[in-house]
Amino acid sequence: MAKLYFYNTLKREKELFLPLSKSKILVYSCGPTVYHYAHIGNLRAFVFADILNNTLRQNGYTVKHQINITDVGHLVSDDDEGEDKMEKGSLREGKSVWEVAEFYTKAFFADLLDLNIDREKFIWTKATDYIKEQIEMVKLLEEKNYTYKTSDGLYFDTSKFERYTELANIDIEGLQKGKRIVDENNEKRNKTDFALWKFSPKDKKRQMEWDSPWGVGFPGWHIECSSMSRAVLGPHIDIHTGGVDLIPVHHTNEIAQSESSLEDGQRFVNYWMHVNFLNADKEKMSKSSGDFLRLENLKEKNFSPLSYRYLLLMTHYRKELKFSWESLEAANNAYQKLLKKFKTIVENGQKRVSLEELTFEANNYKEKFEEAMNDDLNTSIALAKMWSLINDKSILDTEKHTLILYFDKYLGLNLSREKNKV
pLDDT tens digits for 387-416? 999 999 999 999 999 999 999 999 999 998
**Mean pLDDT taken over the chain:** 93
| Beta strands at 153-156 and 147-149: parallel, antiparallel or unpaired | antiparallel
51 neighbors 412 (Cβ within 8 angstroms): yes
What are the CA-CA distances from residue 164 to residues 77, 160, 221 (Å)?
20, 9, 17
Q: What is the CATH number of domain 306-312+324-412?
A: 1.20.120
Residue 51 has pLDDT above 50, yes or no: yes
133 neighbors 228 (Cβ within 8 angstroms): yes
Whats the size of the chain, residue-wise?
422
Those residues whose C-beta lies under 8 Å from the C-beta of residue 340, and which sit 6 or more positions away, are 422
Residue 163 has pLDDT above 70, yes or no: yes
Those residues whose C-beta lies under 8 Å from the C-beta of residue 43, and which sit 6 or more positions away, are 111, 115, 295, 308
Predicted pLDDT of residue 183: 45
pLDDT tens digits for 122-131? 999 999 999 9
Tell me the fold of 17-279: Rossmann fold (3.40.50)
Residue 344 has pLDDT above 80, yes or no: yes
pLDDT tens digits for 242-293? 999 999 999 999 999 999 999 877 999 999 999 999 998 655 556 555 568 9
172 neighbors 192 (Cβ within 8 angstroms): yes
- pTM of the prediction? 0.95
What are the CA-CA distances from residue 338 to residues 175, 199, 282, 308 (Å)?
49, 55, 30, 14
What are the CA-CA distances from residue 344 to residues 269, 340, 365 (Å)?
46, 6, 20
Predicted pLDDT of residue 291: 66
Q: Which range (59-63, 101-105, 148-152, 285-289) has the least confidence?
A: 285-289
Predicted pLDDT of residue 418: 63
Domain ranges within the chain, ordered by starting residue: 17-279, 306-312+324-412
Predicted pLDDT of residue 82: 83
Beta bridge partners, 8, equal: 13
292 neighbors 286 (Cβ within 8 angstroms): yes
Predicted pLDDT of residue 352: 86
